[in-house]
Amino acid sequence: MSGPWTWHGGGLEAAKREFGTGDWIDLSTGISPHPWPGPATIAFDWQRLPDPDALARLEAVAAVCFGVDARHVCAVPGSEIGLRLTGTLVGGPARHIAPSYRTHGEMVAGSAPLATEAAPGYDGTLILANPNNPDGRVTSAATMQALLDRRGLGGWLLVDEAFADTDPATSIAALVDDGRRLIVFRSFGKFFGLAGVRLGFVLAPQAIVAALRERLGAWPLSAAAIAIGTAAYADREWIAAARRRLADEAAALDTLLTRQGHRPTGDCPLFRLIEVDDAQALFERLARRAILTRPFAEQPHWLRIGLPADAGARTRLEVALADG
Contacting positions for its own copies (CB under 8 A): 7-14, 26, 29, 31, 35, 39, 44-54, 77-78, 80-81, 83-85, 88, 103, 106, 189, 193-198, 214-225, 228
Give phi and psi for 183, each to the nearest 5. Answer: -130, 130
Nearer residue to its own copies within complex by CB, 7 or 149: 7
For the CB of residue 100, give the shortest distance to its own copies in the complex, in Å: 15
Nearer residue to its own copies within complex by CB, 46 or 324: 46
Find all residues with CB under 8 Å of 277, minimum gap 6, and list them: 301
Contact 102, 77 (CB under 8 A): no
Nearer residue to its own copies within complex by CB, 8 or 150: 8
For the CB of residue 145, give the shortest distance to its own copies in the complex, in Å: 29
Nearer residue to its own copies within complex by CB, 180 or 245: 245
Nearer residue to its own copies within complex by CB, 221 or 321: 221
Find all residues with CB under 8 Å of 150, minimum gap 6, and list them: 120, 122, 123
Q: H or E element: which one contains 228?
A: helix 223-233
For the CB of residue 120, give the shortest distance to its own copies in the complex, in Å: 29
HEC profile of 158-195: EEECCCHHHCHHHCCHHHCCCCCCEEEEEECCCCCCCH
For the CB of residue 47, give the shortest distance to its own copies in the complex, in Å: 5
Burial class (CB in 10 A: 0-12, 13-18, 19+), 300: middle
Please give the Cα distance from 85 to 217 (Å, whole number).
Answer: 12
Nearer residue to its own copies within complex by CB, 83 or 144: 83
